[in-house]
Structure 1
Amino acid sequence: MTELHPRTQRVADRLSEAGIAGEVVVLPDSAATAAQAAAALGVEVGAIANSLVFWCDGEPLLVMTSGAHRVDTSALASRLGRGEIRRAKPDQVLSATGQVIGGVAPTGHPAPIETIVDEHLASYPQLWAAAGTAHTVFPLTFDELVRLTAGTVLRVD
């Protein structure tokens, strides 16, 4: 077996600890965007669970959204009863997740991050999420994603 990047190994370890059977897949080309990941995997872009890091009230906020949707930050802030939600800067993403933009996984972070899971992801029997790098992904179900992230299911668009 090929040795995994340390960030990806942390993700794989968290999946195993959570009892999620999906195995990390190493892709030959970058899958830093939902469209790239969907094309590489031969799935609908909506089945890609994008890990988007935002900053809200001085804290990171991870939003797991369908690759087919954009996050309406104003509407989401209103639903959460929070202040402004802004895209995190690359250094904030790295600090909060230990991972870089384009490869942020829903798990494997240095500390838990409040997570919102897009309710639209529930319509796909299998999801794919990044596994710590732009070349690694793993499959899981919607219920596994919610459990893995301890996420709150909301509409994000």
Structure 2
Amino acid sequence: MAKHRKSSSTTHASTPALAQLEQAHIAYQLHEYEHDSEHMHDGYGLEAAAKLGIDPHRVCKTLMADLGGELVTAVVPVSGHLDMKALAHACGAKKAHLAEAQQAMRETGYVVGGISPLGHRSPHRTVLDAQAAQYPTILVSGGKRGTSIELAPQDLVSVLQADIAPIATW
């Protein structure tokens, strides 16, 4: 991966996600593609994997879950599904359910299909799936449809103070 280290003092980030990485001096590579909503029946993340030619196990989707009053950000490969019981267990909660799309957009400041785990309006506890954490790099949304950020999973964990747990099912 050709890494780019950007400084917020010399560049202007186009999304809050990129701004957070730049402010933390985290190396990343930006990938952009033409988003096509008319032919996107498999989902935003699988569209990104196909258009970028990247293994869907390395491309992650960002989901928000409600643990009974606390919103949590879950990052799982687009090839899998978020296991709500596993997420609740990882967070020490009794149960979890997917947050409504409108609530996720309001909390993060992003639109569905462009929700990044980075640059939220207010910070949320984040859990990265253990399988995704095993790759040298993963891709997450860059904060808008058609934009993905490639970075080392440990850098994502570091900047978000995220936990790693087996929260995906296949």
TM above 0.5, one fold? yes
The aligned counterpart of 1:14 is 20
The aligned counterpart of 2:75 is 64
CA distance in 1, matches of 2:163, 2:137: 19
TM-score of the aligned structures, taking structure 2 as reference length: 0.81
Q: Is the 8 A contact 1:7 1:98 kept in 2?
A: no
Q: Summarize the Cα distance change of 1:146–1:153 in structure 2 as closer, same or farther, 3 Å threshold.
A: same
CA distance in 2, matches of 1:106, 1:7: 16
TM-score of the aligned structures, taking structure 1 as reference length: 0.87
Check if 1:111 corresponds to 2:122.
yes
Give 5+ residue unaligned stretches, structure 1.
Answer: 1-5
The aligned counterpart of 2:6 is none
Identity %: 25
Give 5+ residue unaligned stretches, structure 2.
Answer: 1-11
Check if 1:74 corresponds to 2:56.
no
Structure in which a larger fraction of residues adopt helix: 1
Distance apart, 1:132 and its partner CA = 1.0
SS at match of 2:148: strand
Q: Which 4+ runs in 1 deviate beyond 4 A?
A: none
Q: Is the 8 A contact 1:7 1:108 kept in 2?
A: no
Q: Is the 8 A contact 1:7 1:132 kept in 2?
A: no
SS at match of 2:75: strand
SS at match of 1:15: helix
The aligned counterpart of 2:8 is none
The aligned counterpart of 2:34 is 28
CA distance in 2, matches of 1:75, 1:50: 17
Distance apart, 1:7 and its partner CA = 9.2
How many aligned residue pairs are there? 152
Q: Show the 5 A alignment for 1:67-146.
A: 67-146=78-157
Alpha-carbon deviations, 1:31-88, whole Å to 9, x = none?
8622111111111000012111111121211001122221110232134321321111
CA distance in 1, matches of 2:87, 2:32: 33
SS at match of 1:46: coil
- RMSD over equivalenced CA pairs, Å: 2.0
